[in-house]
C-alpha cells in the first residue's frame, strides 16, 4: 500500500482534484447567478458542451489556448443568448427550453466532431502551467495546488469577485431581487428582463469557459458528450450552496476529489470495474442531497417568467 500514500501520489491526487473541480466551480458559480436571478438554467449542460467544442476548435486551429478559452466562453454565451431570448424575454418554459438546448447541442457537437475529428482524434499539447512563486515550492501542496494553468487561479479569484458582487454592489441586490420578488424590482425602476439577461449571459460565459477548460486543459481533446453531466453537477452545487459562492468552491473541490480519486484508484491498480468507479461522484452527490437537501433553499420566483402586470 506504499504506492497509495507516497508524496508523489498524493500530489497527483490533489492536482487531479483541482483540475476536475475547476469546470464544476465555473459551472456552479454561473448557475448560482442564474438561480439568484430566478432562472433555472437546465441548458447549462448544453452551454458547457458547446463551450468545450468551440474552445477545442479555437485552440486547435489557432494554436493558442487563450483564444480557445475566449471562443469557448463566447460559444457558451451564444447559447445563453438564445436561452435569454426564449426564456427571459419571451417567458417560455425554462425547463423545456433548457432540455431542448442541452439535447440539441450534445447532438450538434457530436455531429460536428464526427465530420471534423473522428478520423484523427487530434490532441492539444499539454497546457502551460504557471507556478505561483514561493507557494509552489511547498512539498506536496505546492505541485498540487499552486502549479496550474492561469484559468484555475482566475476561477478561484472569481469566487471572491462574486462574493463582492452579491454583497457590495447594486447589481448583486438587483439579481437577488429579480429572483425573490421581481415585481418589487420592477417597481423600483429596474428592468427585470435586463437583470435576468445579464445573469443568464454570465452563466453562459462561465459554463462555456468551464467546458473549454475541461476539453483543452483537463482532457486535451474533445470527444462527444465529454461534459458527462458536469453542468448538472454545477446545478447541484448551486442548489446546495444556498447562494454562497464560497460554498460552491468547497463543493466543487469535494466533487473534484471524488472524480480524481476515481482515476487515482485505477492508476493505483485497485481492481474495481470502471463502471463502479464512474458511479462514485454521482453517489457522493446523492448522499449530499440526502443529508443536506432539505436545507437547499431556492429563490421564491425561480423558474417563473416575469411578465409585468401579470399575477
Partner 1 sequence: MSVETTPASATALEPSLPEGGRGDLVRRLVMTLGPILAALVIAGCILLAVGVNPLTYYGFVIERGLLSPLGVQQTLTRMAPLLFLAAGLIVAFRAGMWNLGGDGQFLLGAVSAAAAGPFLVQFLPVWLALVCAFLLATAVAMLWSLLPALLRAYQGVNEIITTLMMTFLGTSLANVLVKLAFLDPSTTVPQTRTLPVEDRLPRLFDTTISSGLVLGLVAIVAVHLMMTRTAFGLKLQVVGANPRAAVHSGLGVPTLTIAVFAISAGLAGLAGAVDILGVQGNVRADWNPAYAMAVIPMVFLARMNGFAAIGFVFLLSVLSIGGESAARRLGVPHHFTLVLVSIVLIMLAVAEYIDHHFIKTRRV
Query: What residues between 5 and 64 interact with partner 1 by CB under 8 A?
Result: 40, 42
* Minimal distance, residue 42 CB to partner 1, in Å: 7
Q: Which is nearer to partner 1, 74 or 235 (CB)?
A: 235
Cell numbers linked to 111: 455531429
Q: Interior CA angle at 248 toward 247 and 250, to 5°? A: 60
145 binds partner 1 (CB under 8 A): no
Reported as type and span, the H/E element at residue 214 is none
Give the SS3 label for residue 188. coil
Any idea which residue has 475529428 for its cell?
A: 117
108 binds partner 1 (CB under 8 A): yes
Residue from 142, 172, 220, 229 binding partner 1 (CB under 8 A): 229
Query: What residues between 234 and 263 interact with partner 1 by CB under 8 A?
Result: 235-236, 239
Query: What residues between 74 and 93 interact with partner 1 by CB under 8 A?
Result: 82, 86, 90-93
Give the SS3 label for residue 55. helix
- Which residues partner with 130 through β-bridges? 148
Give the integer Cα–Cα distance in Å for 206 and 76.
7
* Minimal distance, residue 114 CB to partner 1, in Å: 5
DSSP track, 116-165: HHTTT---PPPPP-EEPTTGGGSTTHHHHHSEE-HHHHHHHHHHHHHHHH
111 binds partner 1 (CB under 8 A): yes
How many chain residues touch partner 1 (CB under 8 A)? 46
Q: Which is nearer to partner 1, 97 or 185 (CB)?
A: 97
294 binds partner 1 (CB under 8 A): yes
User: Max Cα separation, the chain?
Assistant: 68
* Minimal distance, residue 259 CB to partner 1, in Å: 13
* Nearest-10 Cα torsion for 52, 58, 59, 65: -80
Residue from 4, 8, 103, 300 binding partner 1 (CB under 8 A): 103
Give the SS3 label for residue 52. helix
Give the SS3 label for residue 181. coil
135 binds partner 1 (CB under 8 A): no
Q: Which span sits near partner 1 by CB under 8 A: 6-14, 107-115, 160-168, 249-257?
A: 107-115
Q: Which is nearer to partner 1, 99 or 190 (CB)?
A: 99
Give the integer Cα–Cα distance in Å for 174 and 180.
10
Q: Which span sits near partner 1 by CB under 8 A: 68-76, 110-118, 141-149, 168-176?
A: 110-118
132 binds partner 1 (CB under 8 A): no
* Minimal distance, residue 298 CB to partner 1, in Å: 7
Give the integer Cα–Cα distance in Å for 252 and 238.
10
Reported as type and span, the H/E element at residue 177 is helix 170-180
Q: Which residues would be at the binding site for partner 1 (CB under 8 A)?
A: 40, 42, 82, 86, 90-93, 95-97, 99-101, 103-104, 106-108, 110-112, 114-115, 224, 228-229, 232, 235-236, 239, 273, 275-276, 278-279, 282-283, 285-286, 289-290, 293-294, 296, 298
Amino acid at each position: 500500500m506504499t504506492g497509495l500514500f507516497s508524496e508523489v501520489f498524493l500530489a497527483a491526487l490533489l492536482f487531479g482534484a483541482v483540475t476536475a473541480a475547476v469546470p464544476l466551480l465555473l459551472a456552479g458559480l454561473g448557475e448560482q447567478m442564474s438561480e439568484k436571478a430566478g432562472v433555472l438554467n437546465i441548458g447549462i449542460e448544453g452551454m458547457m458542451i458547446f463551450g468545450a467544442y468551440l474552445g477545442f476548435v479555437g485552440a486547435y486551429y489557432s494554436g493558442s489556448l487563450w483564444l480557445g478559452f475566449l471562443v469557448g466562453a463566447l460559444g457558451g454565451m451564444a447559447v445563453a443568448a438564445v436561452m435569454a431570448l426564449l426564456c427571459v424575454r419571451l417567458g417560455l418554459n425554462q425547463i423545456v427550453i433548457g432540455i431542448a438546448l442541452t439535447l440539441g447541442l450534445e447532438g450538434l457537437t457530436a455531429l460536428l466532431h464526427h465530420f471534423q475529428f473522428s478520423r484523427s482524434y487530434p490532441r492539444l499539447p499539454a497546457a502551460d502551467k504557471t507556478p505561483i512563486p514561493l507557494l509552489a515550492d511547498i512539498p506536496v501542496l505546492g505541485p498540487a495546488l499552486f502549479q496550474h494553468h492561469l484559468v484555475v487561479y482566475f476561477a478561484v479569484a472569481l469566487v471572491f469577485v462574486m462574493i463582492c458582487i452579491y454583497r457590495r454592489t447594486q447589481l448583486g441586490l438587483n439579481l437577488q431581487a429579480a429572483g425573490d420578488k421581481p415585481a418589487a424590482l420592477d417597481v423600483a425602476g429596474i428592468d427585470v428582463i435586463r437583470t435576468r439577461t445579464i445573469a443568464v449571459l454570465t452563466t453562459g460565459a462561465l459554463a462555456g469557459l468551464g467546458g473549454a477548460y475541461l476539453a483543452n486543459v483537463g482532457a486535451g481533446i474533445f470527444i462527444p458528450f465529454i461534459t458527462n453531466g458536469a453542468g448538472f453537477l454545477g446545478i447541484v452545487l448551486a442548489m446546495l450552496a444556498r447562494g454562497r459562492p464560497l460554498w460552491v468552491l468547497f463543493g466543487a473541490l469535494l466533487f473534484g476529489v471524488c472524480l480524481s480519486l476515481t482515476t487515482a484508484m485505477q492508476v493505483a491498480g485497485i481492481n474495481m470495474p470502471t463502471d463502479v468507479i464512474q458511479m462514485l461522484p454521482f453517489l457522493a452527490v446523492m448522499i449530499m442531497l440526502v443529508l443536506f437537501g432539505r436545507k437547499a433553499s431556492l429563490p421564491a420566483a425561480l423558474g417563473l417568467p416575469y411578465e409585468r402586470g401579470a399575477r
